[in-house]
């Protein structure tokens, strides 16, 4: 089983930005964590990141016919991007939305997620562990 892990804007800055929310572990540490978790579960993964909405849409569209699942942390686009939601809907690949922080306990604008409207599951507020839970969920499909 092949899983594409897509990380959106500013995820590359974890460990630097808002440490009280995102902690001190870095983006390369996150990628290594995801890769180890996937290996433990016998899954193949590719981890990508972009700060650009169009690139994220391209990742999703290019996943069609190549991946069995998508894990997406849309960053700020979670709350604004109908286009990313539509791309996920178009490819019809089982998808899980993840967030390092608990978006429901943060600012009101973070409470709405376009991604959750098309993803099978949303996991948030558990730091890096959200990626393991998402991998485990998709592994059972």
pTM: 0.94
pLDDT computed for residue 20 by the predictor: 80
Rg of the chain taking only CA atoms, in angstroms: 14
pLDDT computed for residue 48 by the predictor: 98
pLDDT computed for residue 75 by the predictor: 93
∠ CA 84-89-91 to the nearest 5 degrees? Answer: 100
Active site residue 137: no
Q: What is the mean pLDDT of each run of 10 residues along the chain (141 residues)?
A: 98 90 90 98 98 98 98 95 98 97 77 92 96 98 84
Residue with structure tokens 């930005």?
17
CB atoms within 10 A of CB 64: 12
69 — alpha (psi -120 to 50), left (phi > 0) or beta? beta
Given 22, 77, 114, 131, which residue is catalytic?
A: 22
- CATH number for the domain including 108? 3.40.50.9100
Given 67, 99, 114, 131, which residue is catalytic?
A: 99
pLDDT computed for residue 2 by the predictor: 98
Domain count, the chain: 1
Domain that holds residue 46: 2-139
CB neighbour burial string for 39-55, b if at least 16 within 10 angstroms, e if fewer: eebebebbbbbbbebee
pLDDT computed for residue 85 by the predictor: 98
pLDDT computed for residue 18 by the predictor: 81
Phi first, then psi: give them for residue 45, nearest 5 degrees: -135, 155
Active site residue 111: no
């Amino acid at each position: 089983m092949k899983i594409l892990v897509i990380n959106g804007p500013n995820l590359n800055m974890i460990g630097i930005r808002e440490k009280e929310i995102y902690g001190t572990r870095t983006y390369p540490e996150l990628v290594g964590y995801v890769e180890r978790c996937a290996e433990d579960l016998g899954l193949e993964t590719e981890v990508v990141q972009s700060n650009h909405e169009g690139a994220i849409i391209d990742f999703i569209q290019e996943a069609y016919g190549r991946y069995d699942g998508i894990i997406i942390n849309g960053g700020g686009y979670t709350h604004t991007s109908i286009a990313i939601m539509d791309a996920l809907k178009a490819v019809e690949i089982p998808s899980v939305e993840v967030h390092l922080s608990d978006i429901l306990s943060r600012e009101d604008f973070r409470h709405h997620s376009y991604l959750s409207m098309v993803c099978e599951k949303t996991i948030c507020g558990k730091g890096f562990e959200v990626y393991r839970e998402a991998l485990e969920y998709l592994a059972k499909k």
